[in-house]
Amino acid sequence: MNPTCTTSSNNMAGAFITFEGIDGCGKSTQLRLLASELRVRGITVVTTREPGGTPLGQRLRAALLDVQEQVDPLAELLVFAADRAQHVRKHLRPSLAANQVVLSDRYADATVAYQGAGRGFAPELIQEIVQLATEGLRPDLTLLFDLSVAESAVRTRRRIESKRTDRLDIEDAEFHTRVRNGYVEIAKAEPARIKVIDARGSVQETHLAVMDIVMPFLEDRGLLGAEQSAKSKAPRGKRESSAN
Ligand code: TMP
């Protein structure tokens, strides 16, 4: 399959990092941890998400994920695309142009995995809609948190029991298996952009794996100060103790 989009944010000043994975993989927790770690290190970070990264997007998110709503699959695909079109133009591009490090909880790969692999829409249609919505803006780095469907189900079950669930959380295991396989395929097609992280470990273990990828990446892009650059080159143990 072709890359999700055709142009990366490389021609813009900031850095665009996306977090992906099946429901319950822990990506949102990892995004929060990374954002606070980067802020402690003096790096300005914008956190956002899809769906729901703009005021319009928040309203679309509420409608899309409402467990009571009967959403036609084509309508679902198009509303995710509408959310993304607004997000790219009103929030992502302006933030990147202002030299921000942008961390987004999901982006276009989610449409390839959920609506493409999960719902079964043709790859060509998905690519066309993704291209339209993103204007070719693609992430510089994507962290894919990989977890089996059985393990993710244990985590989402807690959300379901506490009623903090959404319409896609409660899809069956076959759907989530197709989505996971879809993500794995995307990662195979774009190994330079997409880094797969084993999400079975503890929150802290996964966080260390995230830092091991993100700090050298930010350094390569010249987004770390001299002191942070030195830390990003230090072995993990030294780096962590010097950060405390
Ligand atoms: P979240 O729970 O990670 O915030 O994501 C909300 C749900 O929306 C999740 O089940 C994945 C789904 N989703 C899609 O199906 N397609 C998309 O393009 C996006 C961004 C999310």
Locate the ligand 1 atom nearest the alpha carbon of residue 169 and give its number: 10
Q: What residue numbers bound the domain in which 77 lies?
A: 14-243
Instruction: Kindly state if the Cβ of 19 falls inside 6 Å of ligand 1.
Output: no
User: Does residue 7 form part of some domain?
Assistant: no
CA 54 to chain centre: 16
Residue position matching structure tokens 């429901």: 23
User: Does residue 8 form part of some domain?
Assistant: no
215 to 1, 39, 47, 200, 230: CA distances (angstroms): 29, 13, 17, 22, 10
Domain tally for the chain? 1
User: Does residue 2 form part of some domain?
Assistant: no
Alpha helices in 88-167 (DSSP H): 93-97, 108-110, 123-134, 149-161
In tens digits, the chain (244 residues) has pLDDT values of 333 444 455 555 689 999 999 999 999 999 999 999 999 999 999 999 999 999 999 999 999 988 888 899 999 999 999 999 999 999 999 999 999 999 999 999 999 999 999 999 999 999 999 999 999 999 999 999 999 999 988 887 777 666 667 777 767 889 999 999 999 999 999 999 999 999 999 999 999 999 999 999 999 998 886 666 666 666 554 443 333 2
User: Does residue 132 form part of some domain?
Assistant: yes
Instruction: Kindly state if the Cβ of 83 falls inside 6 Å of ligand 1.
Output: no
We report the CATH number of the domain holding residue 156 as 3.40.50.300
Locate the ligand 1 atom nearest the alpha carbon of residue 27 and give its number: 3
Most distant CA atoms of the chain, gap in Å: 53
Q: What would the two tokens of residue 57 be?
A: 């997007």
Instruction: Kindly state if the Cβ of 106 falls inside 6 Å of ligand 1.
Output: yes
User: Does residue 137 form part of some domain?
Assistant: yes
Report the amino acid identity of residue 86: Q
Nearest to 30 by CA among 197, 172, 184, 243: 197
How many A from CA of 205 to the centre of ligand 1? 25
Q: What would the two tokens of residue 120 be?
A: 């079964």
Report the amino acid identity of residue 36: S
Q: Global pTM? A: 0.89
